[in-house]
């Protein structure tokens, strides 16, 4: 509803997985309390706004996807503003504030936001507020919350400026007064309440709720007695604080149970990224010994009868379900165990206050309850604060309620980071820890994100093994901990390991726990082409591959491909190839001993392997990690990269390895070129830009 005294600003969001949209909705909701009205649109809805003529301030919330790309919804917009023919004053009339979302564990942090920001500046647009770059790696809220707090004053000033320009100073008073009184209004919301009156009011216009409770008044379920905070217990100052908790997100989904007739949608209907293929698993091999720290499996898929195509270096996605036992447990907690196979109709709640509410695309309009919990919702997702806020309303125990309020409050921000985010807590962990919390199915549909298909790098060559696709993965083991009563396996890797277990362990009494065999199990996959991580187009160009652990996977595909090309084109010139591989123990997890064959038949020119956990009796300790071996080969590495204009590929763990390797390369370049570190970093940046230093890294 638009009140006359409210001043408008344009609010655009560009979202990939819903985070930017949720933050924009938060801004939209808070705007009313500040005497403002946000005219909110997805950035792709270009018929609903026009930046060319926009006079009001513009707020943009934009996330980053892939390797530093703006979200798909912003592609058209970015293409439009990147038009080289636009004059430098094209957006000179525009005042804007931009909030970028990203994850610093990935290269090109917040690049989606940075790209748009840079281009708007080039086209003459002015910042009315400093750009915020929020990092999902440490918690978006660390930047998002203060950025939104500061936005209102900045908007007020921007609107004032605009009014002054228009010579209509009087009209701005309404806004000034509403904004300058807003903080007082918030303070007036402070309630000193008894526990029985502990009730939160979330009228749409309120920015946040503040509860002030005297410690004497409340029973904090032993929290005050405990000296150490935990997921369920708080200690002072959090336990004694007045809390700023987020506004209750409006409900917007309703579900209706129907009879048991009908069929569930096909899995392909859940995927918007392209065609899916249901393919048989033809082989499963355990690459690691039983006593290895991690279990690595190789699976082979039969794609012969499909149109699925790939090149070595490509990745593809596996559609995976949630674990049966977790789905059953959720059904039990929801009190819907008997209704798992009933069909559910999912609709937008009539009269919802949520702007632009629509049914989440990843939940079918009609399917069984079990289908939704198994294939559609990421039930392992770390609950966001808005979800915790909504769960407060479904919790009957007063102490539990207060702790959930703390965890989603400003005052409890570090508890949230420690006991929820860093502890990888999921909905089931919460429901165990807070047994009086009984959420509804519609709430889960509103707050749980899409169950994402998992990506894997192809570890084979279509030339070497036509009609086959192989991939390698570590089975993710998540141990039990203070916030997690049970250990778990990764959703996809745990499922795949269970699926192929009969192939790996045909009989419990078998002496051979490691063997190859075939099955009729099928999995659904779809392509995720990688534009850059491919063999050099010119085979005479030398290249270096660095892939410790399962990071070696795509390089097996590279080498198989190269071997076939060498056999088929004996007159071609082939450049030298280097592989740096590392694992923990020579006997337990040396994933591909057949690398030696590539060396013997000349496909691989140099193979450098290191073992990080094997003890050595050598006088000089052997190098432990791939970056150490790279340093030992500094001269050769520099020659390949600089003199021979070769390619450098890195694949594997994004957390440490990729950075350690690029640090080693900077050192090598600076040493071999006798240049300072900054100069070496610039050269590395140039190599990246020229797509001669390529990374395929994951966590």
By the criterion CB under 6 A, which residues form the site for ligand FAD? 315, 380, 424, 454-457, 471-474, 476, 478-479, 490-494, 550, 553, 698-699
Considering the complex, what minimum distance in angstroms separates the CB of residue 696 from ligand FAD? Answer: 6
Q: Rounded to the nearest whole angstrom, what is the least distance from the CB of residue 402 to ligand FAD in the complex?
A: 27
Around Cβ 288, how many Cβ atoms within 10 Å?
Answer: 21
The smaller minimum CB distance to ligand FAD, of residues 389 and 484, is found at: 484
The least CB distance from residue 532 to ligand FAD, in Å, is 12
Q: Toward ligand FAD, which CB reaches closer, 370 or 454? A: 454
Closer Cβ to ligand FAD, 214 or 655, answer by number: 655
Number of residues in the chain? 699
Q: How far is the CB of 683 from ligand FAD (least distance, A)?
A: 26
Q: Is the peptide bond before 370 cis (omega within 30 degrees of 0)?
A: no
| Closer residue to ligand FAD (CB): 11 or 556 | 556
DSSP bridge pairs for 120: none
The strand ranges marked E within 550-655 are 577-583, 606-611, 647-653
Q: Which of residues 271 and 476 has its CB atom nearest to ligand FAD in the complex?
A: 476
Q: Which CB, 9 or 698, lies closer to ligand FAD?
A: 698
Q: Which residue number, 14 or 287, has a Cβ lying nearer to ligand FAD?
A: 287
Closer residue to ligand FAD, CB minimum distance, 434 or 698: 698
Q: How far is the CB of 54 from ligand FAD (least distance, A)?
A: 37
Q: Which helix (H) or strand (E) holds 126?
A: strand 126-127
CA dihedral 318, 323, 327, 329 (to 10 degrees): -160
Query: Of 354 and 454, which has the nearer Cβ to ligand FAD?
Result: 454
The count of other CB atoms within 10 Å of the CB of residue 58 is 23
CB of 411 to ligand FAD, least distance (A): 26
In 3D space, the residue among 286, 276, 329, 326 whose CA is nearest the CA of residue 306 turns out to be 276
Toward ligand FAD, which CB reaches closer, 35 or 490?
Answer: 490
Q: How far is CA 139 from CA 205, 336, 481, in A?
A: 26, 34, 21
CA-to-CA distance for 472 and 330, rounded, in angstroms? 31
Nearest approach, Cβ of 250 to ligand FAD (angstroms)? 30
Judged by CB, which is closer to ligand FAD: 91, or 526? 526
Query: Could you give the CA distance from residue 457 to residue 318 in angstroms, rounded to a whole number?
Result: 11
Chain residue whose CB lies nearest ligand FAD: 490
Contact 455, 388 (CB under 8 A): no
Smallest distance from the beta carbon of 136 to ligand FAD, in angstroms? 12
Q: Report in angstroms how near the CB of residue 284 gets to ligand FAD at its nearest.
A: 14
Work out how close the CB of 425 gets to ligand FAD at its nearest, in angstroms, rounded to a whole number: 10
Orientation angle between helical segments 19-31 and 141-166, nearest 10 degrees = 50
Distance CA 535, CA 577 (A): 11
Report how far residue 168's alpha carbon sits from residue 190's, in angstroms, rounded to the nearest whole number: 36
What does the DSSP assignment read for 233-245? ---TTGGGS-EEE
Cα–Cα distance, 277 to 523 (Å, whole number): 8
Nearest one of 39, 35, 29 to 9, comparing CA atoms: 39
What is the distance between the alpha carbons of residues 491 and 480, in angstroms, rounded to a whole number? 15
User: Assign residue 433 a region: left if phi > 0, alpha if psi is -120 to 50, beta otherwise?
Assistant: alpha
- Looking at 303-381, list the stretches that DSSP marks H as alpha helix, in order from N- to C-terminal side: 324-333, 369-371
Q: In a 3-state reduction of DSSP, which class is residue 638?
A: helix
Total Cβ atoms within 10 A of residue 387: 21
Residue number, 315 or 626, with CB nearest to ligand FAD: 315
In the complex, the smallest distance separating the C-beta of residue 464 from ligand FAD, rounded to whole angstroms, is 18
Q: Tell the smallest beta-carbon distance from residue 375 to ligand FAD (Å).
A: 14
Comparing C-alpha atoms, which of 517, 511, 581 is closest to residue 553? 581
Q: Which is nearer to ligand FAD, 178 or 493 (CB)?
A: 493
For residue 366, give both structure tokens.
């009609």
394 vs 476, which CB is nearer to ligand FAD? 476
Question: What minimum distance in Å lies between the beta carbon of 547 and ligand FAD?
Answer: 10
In the complex, the smallest distance separating the C-beta of residue 126 from ligand FAD, rounded to whole angstroms, is 37
Nearer to ligand FAD, 296 or 664 (CB): 296
Least distance to ligand FAD, CB of residue 694, Å: 12
Angle subtended by helix axes 657-672 and 677-689, to nearest 10: 120
β-pairing verdict for 36-42 and 58-62: unpaired
Give start and end residues of each alpha helix (H) in 380-490.
385-392, 398-408, 413-416, 427-433, 441-447
Q: What is the DSSP string of 132-198?
A: EEEETTT-THHHHHHHHHHHHHHHHHHHHHHHHHHT-GGGHHHHHHHHHHHHHHHHHT-EE--GGG-
């Amino acid at each position: 509803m638009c009140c006359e005294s409210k001043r408008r600003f344009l609010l655009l969001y560009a979202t990939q997985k819903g985070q930017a949209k949720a933050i924009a909705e938060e801004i939209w909701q808070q705007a009313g309390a500040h005497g403002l009205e946000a005219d909110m649109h997805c950035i792709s809805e270009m018929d609903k706004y026009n930046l060319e003529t926009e006079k009001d301030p513009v707020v943009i919330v934009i996330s980053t996807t892939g390797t530093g790309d703006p979200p798909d919804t912003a592609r058209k917009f970015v293409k439009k503003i990147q038009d080289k023919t636009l004059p430098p004053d094209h957006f000179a009339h525009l005042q804007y504030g931009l909030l970028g979302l990203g994850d610093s564990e990935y290269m090109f942090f917040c690049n989606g936001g940075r790209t748009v920001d840079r281009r708007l500046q080039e086209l003459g647009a002015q910042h009315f507020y400093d750009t915020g770059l929020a990092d999902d790696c440490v918690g978006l809220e660390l930047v998002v919350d203060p950025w939104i707090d500061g936005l209102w004053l900045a908007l007020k000033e921007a609107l004032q400026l605009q009014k002054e320009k228009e010579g209509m100073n009087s009209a701005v008073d309404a806004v000034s007064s509403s904004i300058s009184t807003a903080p007082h209004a918030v303070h007036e919301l402070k309630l000193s309440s008894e526990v029985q009156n502990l009730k939160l009011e979330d009228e749409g216009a309120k920015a946040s709720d503040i509860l002030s409770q005297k410690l004497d008044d409340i029973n904090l379920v032993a929290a005050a007695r405990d000296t150490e905070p935990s997921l369920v217990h708080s200690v002072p100052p959090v336990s004694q604080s007045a809390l700023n908790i987020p506004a209750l997100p409006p409900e917007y989904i309703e579900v209706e149970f129907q009879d048991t007739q009908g069929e569930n949608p096909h899995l392909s209907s859940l995927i918007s990224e392209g065609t899916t293929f249901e393919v048989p698993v033809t082989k499963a091999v355990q690459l690691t010994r039983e006593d290895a720290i991690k279990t690595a499996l190789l699976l082979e898929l039969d794609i012969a009868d499909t149109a699925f195509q790939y090149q070595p270096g490509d990745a593809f996605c596996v559609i995976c379900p949630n674990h049966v036992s977790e789905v059953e447990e959720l059904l039990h907690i929801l009190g819907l165990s008997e209704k798992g196979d009933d069909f559910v109709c999912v609709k937008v709640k009539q009269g919802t206050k949520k702007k632009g509410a629509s049914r989440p695309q990843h939940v079918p309009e009609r399917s069984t309850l079990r289908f939704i919990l198994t294939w559609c919702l990421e039930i392992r997702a770390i609950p966001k604060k808005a979800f915790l806020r909504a769960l407060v309303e479904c919790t009957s125990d007063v102490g539990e309620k207060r702790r959930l309020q703390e965890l989603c409050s400003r005052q409890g921000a570090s508890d949230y980071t420690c006991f929820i985010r860093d502890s990888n807590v999921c909905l089931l962990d919460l429901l165990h820890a807070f047994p009086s919390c009984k959420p509804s199915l519609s709430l889960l549909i509103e707050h749980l994100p899409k169950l994402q298909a998992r990506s894997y790098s192809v570890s084979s060559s279509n030339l070497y093994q036509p009609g086959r696709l192989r991939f390698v993965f570590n089975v993710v083991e998540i141990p039990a901990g203070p916030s997690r009563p049970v250990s778990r396996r990764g959703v996809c890797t745990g499922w795949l390991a269970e699926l192929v277990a009969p192939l790996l362990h045909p009989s419990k009494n078998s002496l051979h726990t490691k063997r190859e065999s075939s099955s009729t199990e099928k999995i659904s996959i779809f392509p995720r082409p990688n534009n850059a991580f491919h063999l050099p187009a010119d085979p005479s160009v030398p290249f270096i591959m660095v892939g410790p652990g399962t990071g070696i996977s795509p390089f097996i595909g590279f080498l198989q491909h190269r071997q076939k090309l060498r056999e088929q084109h004996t007159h071609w010139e082939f450049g030298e190839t280097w592989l740096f591989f590392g694992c923990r123990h020579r006997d337990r997890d040396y994933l591909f001993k057949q690398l030696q064959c590539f060396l013997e038949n000349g496909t691989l020119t140099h193979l450098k392997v290191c073992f990080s956990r094997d003890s050595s009796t050598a006088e000089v300790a052997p190098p432990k990690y791939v970056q150490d071996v790279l340093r030992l080969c500094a001269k050769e590495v520099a020659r390949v990269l600089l003199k021979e204009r070769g390619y450098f590929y890195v694949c594997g763990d994004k957390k440490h390895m990729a950075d350690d390797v690029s640090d080693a390369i900077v050192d090598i370049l600076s040493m071999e070129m006798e240049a300072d570190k900054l100069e070496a970093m610039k050269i590395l940046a140039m190599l990246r830009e020229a797509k001669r230093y390529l990374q395929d890294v994951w966590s």
